[in-house]
Amino acid sequence: MGGMRTFIIRRLLLLIPTLIGVSLLIFAVSQAFTPEQRAAAYIRGEPKQPDVIPNIIKKYHLNDTFYMQYYYWMSRLLQGDLGISTWAHIPVATAILQGIPASFELVMLSIPITIILGIYLGVLSAVHRDTIIDHATRFLAIIGWSLPTFWLALMLISVFYGQLGWIGTGRLSAAAETFATSGSFIRYTGVYTFDGILNGQLWITIDALKHLILPAITLTIIQIALIIRVMRSSMLEALSKGYTILARAKGLSINEVVNKHARRNALIPVVTLSGLLAAGMLTGVVITETCFNYKGLGYFAAHAAMQLDIPGILGFAMFTGIVFVIANLVVDVLYAFVDPRIRLG
Amino acid sequence: MNISEFKRRIKPTLNEIGFTLKRIKKSPLSIVGLAIIIFYAAVALLAPVIAPPLGPDPYLMPHWGAGKWDPIPKPPSAEHLFGTTSYQYDIFYGCIWGTRTAFRIGFEVVVVALIIGLMLGSVAGYYGGIIDEVLMRFTDIIYAFPGLVLAMALVIALGRGLDNVLLALVLVGWPTYARVIRGEVMKVKGEDYVEAAKAIGCSDLRVLVKHIIPNAIYPIIIMASLDMGAIVLTAAALSFLGLGSGAGYSDWGQLVANSRDYITGTYGNMFAYWHAFTIPSMFIFTFVLGWNLLGDAFRDILDPTIRRK
Amino acid sequence: MSKLIEIKDLELKFYTYAGVVNALEGVELYLKDGETLGIVGETGCGKTTTGLSIFKIVIPPGKIEQGKVLFKTRTGKTVDLLKLSDRALTWVRGRDISMVFQEPSSSLNPVFTVGNQISEVFFHHRKKEMIQNVLNKLEEDIQEAGESFLRGSIYKIEKKIYNKMLEKPKSYSLRIISRIPLINRYKGRLNKEVRKAVVDLLGDLEFPDPQRVFDMYPHELSGGMQQRVVIAMGLACNPLLLMLDEPTTSLDVTIQAQVLDLVKKLKMKYKSSVLFITHNLGVIAEMADRVAVMYAGNVAEVADVREIFKHPLHPYTKGLMESIPRPGEDYRSISGTVPDLIKPPSGCRFHPRCPNAMPICTVVDPKMVEIKKDHLVSCHLFGES
C-alpha cells in the first residue's frame, strides 16, 4: 500500500499550487474592475458620504500594486471574507454557506439517479449494439443533452405545477416553510430532508422531497447522456477484451460475462466521470435552481449575475473552483482504489 | 509534381473520406443531424430573404411603433408569425437572424479556441519539459471551473455584449483542444518515423504539420462538432441570465431572456405565453441536436479501433 | 481408437464493413481419444477460428454458415455441438472442452484475483460436488459439537441450507437469504471448500505458494505464471478436450519450455485429449501426435507428426518444411503472400503460390483424400483428379 500513500500525498501536495492558481485566476478577473467598483464589495447599501469610497479603497489596498493587492485579498479570503454581495446585502461567504445545504440536497438526489440509470442504460446499449434499443437509448440521451436547461425546467413547471398543480416550486411548500423557519423546528444541517427526520417531523422531509423531484429529474435528463456515452463505450471495449472470450470459454452465461466481468471493468472510467458530472451539476444547478425558485447556491449565483453583483459572482466562482479541485482529487484517489492495477502498483 | 502524381498521392485520402461518407450514410441518426444542420445553414444564408432587415443593422430586431413599451408578449398573428416578446420584439425575425448568430457564435468560438489550442498544445507536447508543465497547470486551473460559472465571471468582468460573450467562451474552451492536441503530439513524438524524419533534416514545424495533424484530426472533428452545440447552449444560458448580447439583438437565448418575466404565464393559465420562450428554445434545441447527432456519429465512425469492424 | 471430435464441412464467414471474409471453408478434421492433435499454419489461416468454432464461440461479425462438430460426451453419446443452443453449451464449455488463449495477460480479468477467476469454474461446473463436500464436513462438525446446543443448531441450519442448495438451487428463499448481509455467512463454508480445491489445482500447476497466489491479481504475476493460471482454469473440471491456442508464443523461450513440459505432464495426469494450435513447427514436433496443416481457411494435410515432417505431401507443407532454417542447410521461403479472404483465389486457395499448380487447381477445390493410412491430403496431385 506504500504506492497508494505516496500517490495520495503527491496529489494532496499538487492541490496547493492548483488552488493558488485558481485564486489567482479569480483575482486576475477581479482586476478587470476599477477600484471604485471593487470597493462596492465592502459596503452595505449606498454610500452615505462622498469620502466613504476613497476610504475603503485605502483600507483594503485596492489601488496598490498587483502583488500587494493579491496578498491582502488572499489574507482576507483565508479568513473567510469574500466581501458583501450587492444583491443579497449579506456577506458573500454567508450567502454561500446558506446555499450549500440546498444545493447539496439537490445534487445528492440527482447524482445517484443519474449514475445508476445511466450505467444500466449504458450496459443495455452496449450489449444490444446497433439494434433499435441501442439507437433509441442514444437518441433519447442526446435529446436530453441538447435541451436548453431553462426550457426543460420551465416546461416541467408549467405542466406539473401550472396545469396539474401537483408540485410547487421552491424548497418547501408555504405551510412547511412557515413551520421550518419557526422556533419549533431546529435546523441541524439546513438540509430539509435530514432535518425533517432529526426533528421527528417526517412531513417536512416528504415535503422537501416532493419539491426536489422535478429539479432532480431536470438535471438527470440533461446529464444522463454523459454517463450513458462513457459507460457504453467502455462496455464495448471491455466486451472486446480477451477476458470476455475466456469467460465464455469457461462456460459462463452471457449474463454473468456481461454483468460480472465486463461491467466491473467498464465502471472504472465512470468513476472518473463522476467528477465531471459534479461539475456539470454545478453548471446545471445555476439555471435549474433559478427556474424552480430553489434557493441554493445556483440561485444565488444566477441572481448575482443578473444584477451584476461582482463580489457575489467572484465569490461563487472561487468557491466552485475549490470544490471542483477537491472533487477531482477525491475522484483520482477513488480511481486508484477501484483499479487494482493502480492500487498495487 | 504533376497532375498524375498528385492524383496518386491523394487517392488514399479520398478513399478514407469515401469510406467515412459511406458509414455516415449507414447511420440514420447522423443523416438526421446532417439534415438539420443543412436546413439551418440554408435559413441562415437566406435570412435577408426570409426576414428582410428593416434597419441599418440587420441583427437588431425590429422594435418600433406604438406598442414599443408594451411589456406583454403577443401571441402569433398574421403580422408577427411567431408572436412577440415582452416589449414587442418580433420573434420570427429574431429567430431567423438568430440562426446566423448561432452559427457565428459556434464557428468563431470553435475556430479561435482550436487555433489557440493547436498552437499551445503542439508546442507543449512537442517540447515537453517545463513548457508542458506550465501549460498543464494552466489548463488544470481553467478546468477547475465548470464552464458556465467561469464564463459568467468573465462576462461580468468584461461587460455584456456579444463580442465579450464570445471572448469568454473562447477563454473557457481552448484548454480542451490544447489537451487533445498535446496528447496526440506526445503520442506521435515517440514514433520511429518522427525520428527518421528528423534524421533526414525535416524542420520541427514540418514534422508537426505532416505527422501530427492527420492523427489528431479525428478527435478534433468530433470535439468541434459537439462543441458547436455545447457553446450555443452555454451562450443561451448566459443570455438567459442577462449576460448576453443585449435586449435588441437577434439571438435565440436573448429572445427567451426578453420574456423571462412572463414565462410562468398568467394566474390561471401557465401556457399563456408559451410561444415567447418555447419557440426560440426549440430553435436552440434542434440546432444543438443536429450538431450533437453529427458529433456522436462522428465519434462512432472515426474511432480507428472500431472503424473496420 | 475412437474419435472424440469430428469436424465435418465447417464453413464460417465474417461479415465486415470491408466485405465478407470467407474465413473457413470445408474444414474437415478429427481428433482421436487421448491424442494431441496439432494445428499448424500461418497467422490468419483460421486455426484459432476453428478451435473456437468447436464449442461454437463465434466472434462477431462472424457467422457459422454450415458444418457439424460431432463430440463424444462422457456418457458415450455423440452430439453435434453446432446444433446446441448457447445455453446448453455453457455446460460443455469449461467442463468437457476448455480453451487456453494466446495472451495470458489479456485473458485474465485485471480487477479480480486469480483465485476468484479460477473459482468461477468450480462454482459453475462442480458446485454439487463442492456442496457435497461441505455437507460431509458439516456432518463431522455436528458430531463434534455434540453437547453444545448453540453450535449444533447453527450447523444444523447450515446443513439444511446446503441441502436446499443441492435440491432446489434456484429457489426464492435461497436467493433471498444469500443477499442478507450477516445471514449469508453460510456461504463461507462453500468458499473455503472451493478455495481448497483451487489451491490444490494450483499446486498441480507447480506454483510454489498456491495460497498466496490465490489472492493475487493477474498483473502481479509473470507471463508464465499467468498462463499457468489459465491452464489451471482449463483443467479444473477434468475436461475431455483441452485446446491450447498459441499458449507459449508470447512467453520467453525458457518459460516456454517449462509450460510445454507442464502441459505434457498434465495431459497424462488428467487423461485429456489436447488440441494444440501454433505456427511454430518446432513446438508442434515436440507436442503433437498428429498434425493438421491449415492454409487460408482450408485443411491442406493431416498426418502423424513424424510422417508429416519426413514425407510431406501437400506442396504447402513441403514449402513449410523447406523453410525451417537448419544448420548447414539452405532454406527456402514460399513465394507470394497469404491471400485476401474476401476474394479468395478460385479453386485451390494455394494455387497462386504453388510450384506444382495445374490447370485444374484454378477451377476445382480439391477434396480431402486418404492417401496412406491416417495420412490425408487435399491436393489435386494426389487422389482423384
Which of C99, C111, C114, C242 best probes binding to A when mutated, by most A CB atoms within 10 angstroms?
C111
Q: Write out chain C residues lying below 8 Å of B24, CB-based.
A: none
Q: Which of B167, B153, B143 is nearest to A32 (CA)?
A: B153
- At residue A193, the pLDDT reads 78
- How does pLDDT run across C46-80, given as a tens digit for each residue? 888 998 999 888 887 888 888 989 998 888 888 88
Higher pLDDT pick, B32 / B186 = B32
Amino acid at A176: A
CB contact under 8 A, B23 and C17: yes
Q: Helix B147-158 and helix A2-30: axis angle, to 10°? A: 20
Number of Cβ within 10 Å of residue B266's Cβ equals: 11
Average pLDDT (C342-351) is: 83
The percent of residues above 70 in pLDDT, for chain C, comes to 99
Q: Is the Cβ of C149 closer than 8 Å to some Cβ of chain B?
A: no
- ipTM for the predicted complex comes to 0.85
Average pLDDT (C15-40) is: 87
- Alpha carbon distance A250, C93 (integer Å): 5
Q: Is the Cβ of C18 closer than 8 Å to some Cβ of chain B?
A: yes
pLDDT per residue as tens, chain A (345 positions): 566 777 778 878 888 888 888 888 888 888 877 777 777 777 766 666 777 777 777 777 777 777 777 887 788 778 877 777 777 788 888 888 888 888 888 888 898 899 999 999 999 999 888 788 988 998 899 999 999 988 998 888 878 876 677 777 777 777 777 777 777 777 777 777 777 777 777 787 888 888 888 899 999 999 898 889 889 988 988 888 888 889 988 888 888 888 888 888 888 888 878 777 876 677 678 888 888 888 888 888 888 888 888 888 888 888 888 888 888 788 888 877 777 777 665
Query: Is the Cα torsion angle B100, B104, B110, B111 positive or negative in sign?
Result: positive
Amino acid at A154: L
Is-contact A245 C59, C-beta < 8 A? yes
Strand pairing report for C241-245 and C97-100:
parallel
Is the predicted pLDDT of residue B309 greater than 50, yes or no?
A: no
Residue in the structure block whose three cell numbers are 493431416: C302
Sorted by sequence, the CB contacts under 8 Å of residue C382 that are 6+ apart come out as C313, C369, C371
Average pLDDT (C207-214) is: 91
| pTM passes above 0.90 | no
Domains of chain C listed by start with CATH number: 1-109+238-385 (3.40.50.300), 121-197 (no CATH)
Amino acid at A275: G
For B8, how many CA atoms within 13 A lie in the half-sphere containing its CB?
Answer: 5
Which of C107, C119, C198 best probes binding to A when mutated, by most A CB atoms within 10 angstroms?
C107
List the grid coordinates of C301: 494435410
Q: Which of C383, C351, C347, C350 is nearest to C365 (CA)?
A: C347
CB contact under 8 A, A252 and C217: no
List the grid coordinates of B228: 458547436
List the grid coordinates of A182: 419557526
The conformation of residue B209, written as its DSSP 8-state character, comes to I
Q: How would residue B268 be classed by pLDDT, with cut points 50, 70 and 90?
A: low
- At residue A143, the pLDDT reads 92
Q: Write out chain B residues lying below 8 Å of A135, CB-based.
A: 28-29
Number of Cβ within 10 Å of residue C44's Cβ equals: 16
How does DSSP assign A109-159, residue by residue?
A: HHHHHHHHHHHHHHHHHHHTTTSHHHHHHHHHHHHHHHS-HHHHHHHHHII
- At residue C170, the pLDDT reads 79
CB contact under 8 A, A341 and C217: yes
The percent of residues above 90 in pLDDT, for chain B, comes to 18
Residue in B141, B265, B296 nearest the CB of A162: B265
**For B134-163, what is the HEC assignment?**
HHHHHHHHHHCCCHHHHHHHHHHHHCCCHH
- Alpha carbon distance C284, B155 (integer Å): 72
For A116, how many CA atoms within 13 A lie in the half-sphere containing its CB?
Answer: 6
- Alpha carbon distance C320, C279 (integer Å): 10
List the grid coordinates of C352: 497462386
Average pLDDT (C242-246) is: 92
- Alpha carbon distance B130, A328 (integer Å): 23
CA distance A200 to chain B (A): 35
- Alpha carbon distance B183, B186 (integer Å): 5
